[in-house]
């Protein structure tokens, strides 16, 4: 019995030493096994950060290009709108526009006593007939004489008197001092019988 106990006591330190070595080896192996995983995670994080950086840079470039395109479109729109407003202003309010000269001459025809006696009340004016039958075009000619711009217009008038029709001839000349066009003459040819010419204004 003493021998058996002595053998048991002698084996216990050896068994404990082996168990301790195994646990230390297992922990070391676990640490060695975890290192590759940690490195892969680190590399993955770096790659993700690089990918996000490239993506954000590309997005910024894309947004900048889109904003620049919108800016160009806005500038073109402003330019087109400004051009339209300029044309409309010139046609309606400029003294040198055919529409303005036509409107002034028509008003003088409507207020002239002799024109009213021939054509009656409610005198209306119109231009040349288009292909669709609309009388909207007022024919005019622009030319330069003695260094000054001139313009001639021709349109037609009718009133409440049935069958009466007249052709209005207008000529204006540039006045550099006043910065506008002055009327040289306005006269009306009566196209129905008895034919004659009514002079409304003559400043030649």
Name the more confident of 129 and 200.
200
Residue 107 and residue 72 share a domain? no
Residue 163 and residue 135 share a domain? yes
Residue 196 and residue 120 share a domain? yes
Residue 106 and residue 89 share a domain? no
Residue 89 and residue 105 share a domain? no
Residue 152 and residue 74 share a domain? no
pLDDT value of position 179 = 81
Give the pLDDT confidence of 112-123 residue by residue, as tens digits: 999 999 999 889
Give the pLDDT confidence of 21-57 residue by residue, as tens digits: 665 555 544 445 444 455 555 555 555 555 666 657 6
**Cα–Cα distance for residue pair 102/88, rounded to 1 Å:** 16
Give CA separation, 51 vs 44, 65, 87, 94, in Å. 10, 21, 54, 63
Residue 106 and residue 55 share a domain? no
Residue 125 and residue 79 share a domain? no
133 φ/ψ angles, rounded to the nearest 5 degrees? 90, 5
Name the more confident of 114 and 179.
114
34 φ/ψ angles, rounded to the nearest 5 degrees? -80, -25
Closest CA to 111 of 157, 172, 150, 167: 157
**Global pTM?**
0.56
Residue 53 and residue 127 share a domain? no
CATH code, domain with 127: 3.10.450.320
Name the more confident of 96 and 184.
184
14 domain-assigned: no
Supply the range of the domain harboring residue 177: 98-202
Consecutive H or E run containing 194: none
Angle subtended at Cα 119 by Cα 117 and Cα 125, rounded to the nearest 5 degrees: 135
Residue 142 and residue 80 share a domain? no
Tell me how many domains the chain contains: 2
Residue 179 and residue 122 share a domain? yes
Residue 108 and residue 66 share a domain? no
Q: Which residues contact residue 80 at a Cβ distance below 8 angstroms, ignoring those fewer than 6 apart?
A: none
26 domain-assigned: no
Consecutive H or E run containing 122: none
């Amino acid at each position: 019995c003493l021998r058996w106990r002595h053998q048991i006591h002698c084996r216990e330190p050896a068994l404990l030493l082996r168990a301790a070595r195994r646990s230390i080896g297992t922990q070391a192996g676990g640490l060695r096994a975890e290192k590759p995983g940690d490195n892969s995670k680190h590399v993955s994080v770096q790659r993700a950060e690089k990918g996000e950086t490239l993506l954000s840079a590309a997005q910024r470039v894309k947004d900048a290009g889109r904003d620049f395109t919108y800016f160009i479109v806005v500038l073109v729109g402003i330019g087109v709108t400004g051009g339209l407003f300029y044309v409309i202003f010139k046609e309606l309010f400029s003294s040198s526009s055919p529409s303005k000269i036509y409107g002034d001459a028509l008003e003088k025809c409507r207020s002239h006593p002799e024109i009213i006696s021939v054509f009656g009340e409610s005198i209306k004016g119109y231009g040349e007939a288009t292909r669709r039958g609309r009388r909207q075009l007022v024919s005019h000619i622009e030319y330069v004489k003695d260094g000054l711009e001139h313009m001639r217009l021709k349109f037609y008038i009718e009133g409440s008197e049935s069958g009466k029709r007249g052709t209005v001839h207008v000529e204006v000349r540039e006045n550099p001092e006043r910065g506008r066009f002055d009327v040289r003459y306005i006269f009306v040819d009566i196209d129905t019988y008895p034919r004659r010419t009514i002079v409304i204004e003559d400043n030649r």
